[in-house]
Structure formats: structure tokens, C-alpha cells
Structure 1
Amino acid sequence: MAELVYPPVIATARAWFKALDLRFDMEGTEHVPRRGGAVLVSNHISYLDFIFSGLAALPAKRLVRFMAKDSVFRHRVSGPLMRAMKHIPVDRSKGEGAYSHALDSLRSGEIIGVFPEATISRSFTLKDFKSGAARLAQEAGVPLVPMALWGTQRLWTKGRKRDFGRNHFPVTIRVGEPMEAGAEEPVTRLTSRLRERVQEMLEAAQRAYPAVPKDDNDKWWLPAHMGGTAPTPAEAQSM
């Protein structure tokens, strides 16, 4: 079936990013499979992460179907768009339907996007991973593709006002080599390996990030362990 909505939405997003004068530093896009199913797994620090994650799949000419909370699908603007782009709504009180939907999509050759932290990290550090991404990959017999995002929190994140001005923000996107999800490996161990890989990539992205805070008031987007004023993981959890 022809994709009537997804390509125009991508084109609109790219034009918007150009208008914002965002600077992209993207590496590893060759690791996105050009055919067949895969689970794309990323850290989560911004409301816009699904857009940036999806951009990484474009060089492979792939469209990613993201799993997202069902409230996004009930919104009068985003809902019709999300459904038309074949993203997958997740009702956290009963996730079996979303899991089955994602599994069927993987088996039919789609790339499914998952944020295994399940919510935005206010501390901008990596939270614990839910096991769903690993279980999907194992059951569908497809690889896991790890990804790390950095800088996206400066645009729009939890507890902060949106900043859509022309601030020349750098956005770092890293895609790692696919990880095989063998059925014989315990899912907890696979999830742990996956998290470790994303952690390594995130730390590398943070070290290479070309921007620094302008002043003390601009340190909010840096994690506490990097000298920033973001909440510590413990503080973020209590929030």
C-alpha cells in the first residue's frame, strides 16, 4: 500500500529543522537494515525523539513504525497522523495488543521503533530498560539496532518550555551495529547487553558534543554528573 502521509510528514519535518537551523551530526546510518524486520532502540530525552530516530533510517530508505503511548493517538491533530503513518499505540495498562501488533509488523518486514526506558529521562541519563524490545526481537527473529540521541532535549523535554527559535542547536544521532537476538539467550541478559551498548554510545555522543552551556542558567540540559543542573537520577525518579 502506498505511503500517502509519512513522506510528506518527513519532508515537513526536514523543512522545519532547516528553518530552525539545526546542525545534525549523524553517524552509523549504514547499520539500519535495508530490508527485513528490525527493532530500533533509542534513549529518550525529548518529546521529538521519534522524529530524530526516524531520520536515521531514511538513508536506508526505511520508515520506522514507533510504539507510542495511546494518548498521542487520541489527540485531534497528532492522532490521525500517527495512525496514518502506521505507528503503534500502547495502552500501558494492557500492552498485549500493542505487543502483538508490533510482532506482526516485524514478521512482515517492518522496522519497529522502541524507547525501552518507557518515558523521557529527566536526568538525561539512561534509565532502566524494559524487556519488551528484546522480547520482540527474539520472538520475531530480527536484530536489535541500538541508537543514541543527544542534544534533542534542548528543543523540547519534560518540565521545560519548548525552544523552537533559531538557536543553531547541534543534534547528535548515533546508530550502532545490529545486535543478534538469539532465542537461547535469557531476555534479561539480552536487555542488559542492549542497555550497555546504548550507554556506551550515549557517553560517546556526549563527549563529542560540540556545544557547551552559555552560562550557569544554561546548564539545565547537562546531567548532574557532567556538571549540569539537571536532576540526578534519584531526584528525577522522585519527580
Structure 2
Amino acid sequence: MFYRFMKATLGSLLRVFYQPWIRGAENLPETGPAILASNHLAVIDSFFLPLMLPREVVFLGKSDYVEGTGLKGRFIAWFMKGVGLIPVDRSGGKASEAALNAGLDRLETGGLFGIYPEGTRSPDGRLYRGKTGVARLALESGAPVVPVAMVGTNIAQPIGRRIPKFKRIGVVLGEPMDFSRYAGMENDRFVLRSITDEIMYEIMRLSGQEYVDMYAATAKARLAKGKSAASLTDAPGGRPVPEEPPSPDDGAASGPATRDPGPAAAAAEGVEPDETR
């Protein structure tokens, strides 16, 4: 009930101020389980992706969001729980196992499960190496993976900015990816890496981001030490960023979405299971 309420109220406000657009909505399965594997540019990714989908999607989120104190902390916790956030401790080990199981439970009920394979937000707008939890989820659940590209959220909400500035936000959905040919190989780390890289390539192709063969967490640590986030294994990089459709203010349609977008929901950043298990 609360989830529908938030979609109806918050969703309407976000549409008015940010005029979000979507491409590839027809690629979202109408029924059954599916994994939405998205790039991660800003906290508001978890607001706008659910907003543009006709089906409810649940994201993993760091447990900090439901453990706040004070009036503001309690409000955030109430809000996040109300929209279906699955809180997860990102410390690794058993916490990573819990994250994986939470995703499997969601998929077993035939729902949509959103995950950020990079494991954390990109520190500089580039696309970083994916962790293999998404591949393990795909093999153990048998669910298709829908690659997702969020567009413009890092401009609307750069790291460190709490309130997003007004900027059109885009969502691009790619065709569902079937990995049933690897059934029974979820414990093969080479297969998991191959699947993950294939998913990240599709996200790169959809988003136009430059790819960096380094974990985003590693890049953040390097930047914190005053070092460059560049890697010797950087991909040649960069494709044109998807062009946003004309604004409704220009008298044109708001975008080539093929479905009526659903209302909004919010959840915190996703968490990836540790690929070393």
C-alpha cells in the first residue's frame, strides 16, 4: 500500500521537475522474474529506474539507510523500508551471501530484482568492472538479465550533492540476456567472470560510458589518496551518450517510451556479493 502511495505521489513530482524519458521499455518482461543490471552514477538511480517501469522492482541497499537516528534518520529508514528496500551489510563474507540469498528469494517469487554490478557509484562517470554476483544470481535463478543504462543522473546529482538539480533523466533498457547455456556452472569463476563481462559490455554499449577494467571501489580508494583513477587496462573507451528526446516544453512528445511508465519508488544503492566465494 505504501509502495503504491509513494509511486503515485513522488512519481508525479519527479515527472514534473525532471521530465524523465525511457527507451527500450518493450524489453522488460511483462511477467516472471528478471534481473535488472544497471550502471550506477548517483543515489537517485534507485528513484528514477522504478519510476519508469510498469512493474515493481526491489533493490538491495546498504543497511546504513535503515539504521539512522534522529528525526531525519528515522524518516529515511521509514521511507526506505516502505518502498521495499532490502538492507544489506556490505562488509563481505556472510553479508555478501545474505545479499545473494535476498536476490534469489525475490526472483523465486517471480519479481524484478535490481542490482548494480559495479557495487558502488562510479566516482567519475565512467563504467567500472562488474562484480560476479550478478552472474551467480542469473545462473542460480535461471532469470534473464536486462541490462540498464541510467543517463544524466550523475549530472543531476554529482557525488557530494544531496538535492539533485533539475536535469532530464534517461533510462535505456537493453534486450534480455539468457545465460541458460551455462546452467549448473555457477561455481566456475571463469564462467562467472565471462558472464559478468558480457553484461558490462551491454551496459557500456547502451550508456555510451567509457569502460575501466578496475573495480569502482579501487578507483575511489586511489582518488582518496590523491592518485589518478586511470588504469593501464582502460578500454579505448567512450561511445556517444544516448540523446535525450525533445522536451514536452518544445511541443514534442516526451520520449519514445513504448509503455506507460509506472510510478516512482526509492531505494538505496545496491550491493554486490563478493565474487571470491
- Structures share fold, TM-score greater than 0.5: yes
CA distance in 1, matches of 2:162, 2:79: 24
Matching residue within 191, 199, 203 for 1:194: 199
1:9-42: CA deviation from partner (whole Å, max 9, x where unpaired): 112222222442x232311111111111111011
Mark the runs of 5 or more structure 2 residues left unpaired by the alignment: 69-73, 186-190, 209-238, 247-277
Distance 1:205 1:108, change over 3 A: farther
CA distance in 1, matches of 2:79, 2:174: 29
Amino acid at match of 2:241: Q
1:47-88: CA deviation from partner (whole Å, max 9, x where unpaired): 100111112322xxx100101111112231222232233321
Of the two structures, which has the highest relative contact order with CA contacts closer than 8 Å and spacing of 6 or more? Answer: 2
CA deviation after TM superposition for structure 1 residue 140, in Å: 0.5
Match of 1:46 in 2: 42
CA deviation after TM superposition for structure 1 residue 144, in Å: 0.3
Match of 1:13 in 2: 10
Mark the runs of 5 or more structure 1 residues left unpaired by the alignment: 212-239
CA distance in 2, matches of 1:205, 1:111: 29
CA deviation after TM superposition for structure 1 residue 46, in Å: 1.0
Regions of 4+ moved over 4 Å = none
Matching residue within 65, 68, 80 for 1:72: 65
CA deviation after TM superposition for structure 1 residue 151, in Å: 0.9
% same residue: 30
Native 8 Å contact 2:21 2:245 kept in 1: no
1:119-175: CA deviation from partner (whole Å, max 9, x where unpaired): 1112101011111111111101100010001111222231335344xx4x2212100
CA distance in 1, matches of 2:88, 2:179: 23
Match of 1:34 in 2: 30
CA distance in 1, matches of 2:5, 2:19: 21
Aligned residues: 201
Native 8 Å contact 2:34 2:107 kept in 1: yes
CA root-mean-square deviation: 2.0
1:150-204: CA deviation from partner (whole Å, max 9, x where unpaired): 111222231335344xx4x221210011001223461111000000000000016
Distance 1:210 1:30, change over 3 A: closer
Native 8 Å contact 1:73 1:83 kept in 2: yes
Native 8 Å contact 1:45 1:120 kept in 2: yes
State yes or no: 1:105 paired with 2:106.
yes
